[in-house]
């Protein structure tokens, strides 16, 4: 899966709108989308979905991204549970956006990682400062994994684990080796995992190319809508 730009705000705008940065207007960090732009909020609400967001938003203005705000930083707390179970007759789309792993990498427990056993990737020079920083990053990856597990458990506890499409994305490239700021593979390539019982075979792998802008039109089609009518840059890969 590939993003159009290796920056947070453009990545999220591309994900939420199905548009490339030049069309949404979010082509730099901390910038807002063009007035009148539609997002996944509008497209799915037209199909009778509730569309909420928990955790980090980093998307503006509110008219373009009118998410239901769900709780604070806790991605699997009581407010998230309440949103999932608010109305069994109305389906929901909920984006749980973690701050992990993001500099300065302080939220995880680095003391649980054996520094001597960590092998640094070849793009990072192995010296004491970079090794310490990388271990802090790994601690946040572990914390992110825990958050994902909590969300899946919440879906299981509320009886929705088998009829919910769950997708995980790692956003754009990491900060090491200037990955976040370059249009090299290390900056634009994103992890993408999907879980959908009855529709996706567990453990299967696809080598198909996916653009982050393709996700909103895929959501539209999965919800029973016509993504081509929205005239987005992305193409559904349902």
Q: Which residues are catalytic?
A: 8
| Pairing label, strands 192-195, 92-97 | unpaired
Q: Which residue has the tokens 């939420």?
A: 16
Q: In 3D, which of 45, 26, 146 has the Cα closest to residue 96?
A: 146
Residue 64 makes CB contacts below 8 A (sequence gap 6+) with 17, 32, 33, 34, 35, 36, 37, 38, 39
Q: How far is CA 78 from the centre of its chain?
A: 21
- For residue 169, give the H/E element and its range: strand 166-169
Burial class of 80 by CB neighbour count within 10 A (0 to 12, 13 to 18, 19+): buried
8 A C-beta contact, residue 80 and residue 54? yes
- Phi/psi of residue 100, nearest 5 degrees: -90, 140
């Amino acid at each position: 899966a590939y993003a159009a730009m290796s920056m947070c705000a453009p990545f999220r705008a591309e994900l939420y709108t199905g548009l490339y940065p030049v069309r949404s207007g979010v082509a730099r960090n901390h910038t807002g989308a063009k007035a009148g732009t539609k997002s996944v909020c509008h497209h799915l609400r037209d199909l009778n979905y509730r569309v909420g967001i928990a955790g980090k938003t980093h998307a503006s203005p509110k008219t373009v991204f009118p998410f239901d705000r769900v709780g604070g930083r806790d991605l699997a707390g009581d407010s998230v549970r309440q949103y999932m179970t608010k109305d069994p007759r109305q389906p929901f789309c909920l984006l749980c956006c973690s701050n992990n792993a993001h500099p300065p990498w302080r939220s995880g427990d680095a003391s649980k990682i054996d520094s001597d056993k960590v092998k640094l990737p070849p793009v990072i020079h192995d010296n004491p400062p970079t090794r310490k920083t990388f271990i802090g990053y790994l601690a946040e990856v572990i914390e992110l994994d825990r958050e994902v597990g909590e969300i899946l458990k919440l879906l299981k506890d509320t009886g929705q684990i088998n009829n919910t499409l769950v997708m995980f994305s790692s956003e754009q490239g990491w900060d090491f080796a200037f990955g976040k700021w370059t249009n090299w593979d290390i900056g634009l390539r994103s992890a993408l995992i999907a879980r959908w019982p009855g529709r996706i075979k567990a453990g299967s792998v696809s080598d198909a190319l996916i653009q982050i802008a393709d996700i909103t039109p895929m959501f539209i089609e999965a919800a029973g809508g016509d993504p081509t009518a929205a005239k987005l840059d992305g193409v559904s890969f349902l």
